[in-house]
């Protein structure tokens, strides 16, 4: 990984789109400028920074609870900046695709949560609201729940306030809460359940689910 990052920093970004060509071992270095402008690669780097020294972001490792003490927060922030720069370069080359946009979005979302940056987080969630895309909203809510162990109580309140202000999609409130339970963050899960019940006081199902979660996890 360190060698790849060093190479990416030394090489310029591509200047134009190129025709696909036959792969050759000696031509692999030609791929590095394209890796540099791949938001998906930088998103992978963000995920690897969440669990440094383990499976480095493998699918199986991504199921393990986050350890806040081990997160490389500077590396997360740097990788998110890399994703934003990559997307900007793609734009200058005339490259446009939903996956490019969403990879950059999730890299920035993760970095905003990890940093407790309310302004950046609200910007990311405003994008979700504006896009009004089910998959984007679902994955964003799931990502918030999975990141709950990385947040102390104060930071989690920032996350909940941003969600309320920008998205506030009722069916996803308890999705975030239960994902936080699975992620190993019971305090954050309870805070989410209580915020959800307070947000929708006229819905008895929300009060019932909050009470059930309290009985399960403790008050």
The pLDDT assigned to 57 comes to 47
- Please give the backbone phi and psi of residue 195, each rounded to the nearest 5 degrees, phi first: -65, -40
Summarize the confidence of residues 188-202 as an average pLDDT: 98
pLDDT score at 65:
77
pLDDT at res. 60: 46
Q: What's residue 36's pLDDT? A: 85
Q: Which two tokens stand for residue 214?
A: 């309290």
* C-alpha–C-alpha distance, residues 115 and 155, integer Å: 9
The span from the CA of 72 to the CA of 23, in Å, is: 35
Cβ of 9: how many Cβ atoms within 10 Å?
9
pLDDT digits (tens, 9 = 90+) for 8-63: 555 555 554 554 455 555 555 666 788 888 999 999 999 999 998 765 544 445 55
Crossing angle of helices 98-115 and 39-50, rounded to 10°: 30
pLDDT digits (tens, 9 = 90+) for 57-103: 444 455 577 999 999 999 999 999 999 999 999 999 998 899 999 99
pLDDT digits (tens, 9 = 90+) for 127-184: 999 999 999 999 999 999 999 999 999 999 999 999 999 999 999 999 999 999 999 9
Alpha-carbon distance of 12 to 17, in angstroms, equals 14
Mapped onto helix, strand or coil, the DSSP state of residue 6 is helix
What are 157-166's contacts with CB under 8 Å, separation 24+? 157/191, 158/116, 158/118, 158/121, 159/113, 159/121, 160/191, 160/192, 160/195, 161/118, 162/118, 162/121, 162/122, 162/125, 163/125, 164/195, 164/199, 165/122, 165/125, 166/122, 166/125, 166/126, 166/128, 166/129
**CA distance to 72, 120, 132, 153, 161, per residue, from 77 (Å):** 9, 12, 26, 21, 22
In this prediction the pTM is 0.84
SS3 readout for 178-219: HHHHHHCCHHHHHHHHHHHHHHCCCCHHHHHHHHHHHHHHCC
Q: What integer pLDDT is reported at residue 33 of this predicted model?
A: 80
pLDDT of residue 24: 56
């Amino acid at each position: 990984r360190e060698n790849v990052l060093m190479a990416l920093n030394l090489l310029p970004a591509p200047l134009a789109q190129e025709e696909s060509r036959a792969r050759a071992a000696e031509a692999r270095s030609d791929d590095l400028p394209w890796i540099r402008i791949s938001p998906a690669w930088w998103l992978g780097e963000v995920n690897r920074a969440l669990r440094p020294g383990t499976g480095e972001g493998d699918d199986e490792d991504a199921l393990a609870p986050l350890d806040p003490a081990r997160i490389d927060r500077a590396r997360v922030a740097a990788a998110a900046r890399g994703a934003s720069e990559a997307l900007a370069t793609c734009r200058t080359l005339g490259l446009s695709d939903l996956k490019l946009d969403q990879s950059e979005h999730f890299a920035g979302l993760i970095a905003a949560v990890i940093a407790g940056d309310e302004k950046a987080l609200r910007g990311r969630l405003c994008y979700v609201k504006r896009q009004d895309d089910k998959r984007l909203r679902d994955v964003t809510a799931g990502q918030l729940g999975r990141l709950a162990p990385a947040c102390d109580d104060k930071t989690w309140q920032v996350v909940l306030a941003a969600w309320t202000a920008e998205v506030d999609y009722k069916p996803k409130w308890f999705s975030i809460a239960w994902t936080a339970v699975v992620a190993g963050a019971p305090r954050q899960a309870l805070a989410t359940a209580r915020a959800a019940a307070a947000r929708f006081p006229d819905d008895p199902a929300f009060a019932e689910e909050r009470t059930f979660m309290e009985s399960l996890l403790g008050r």
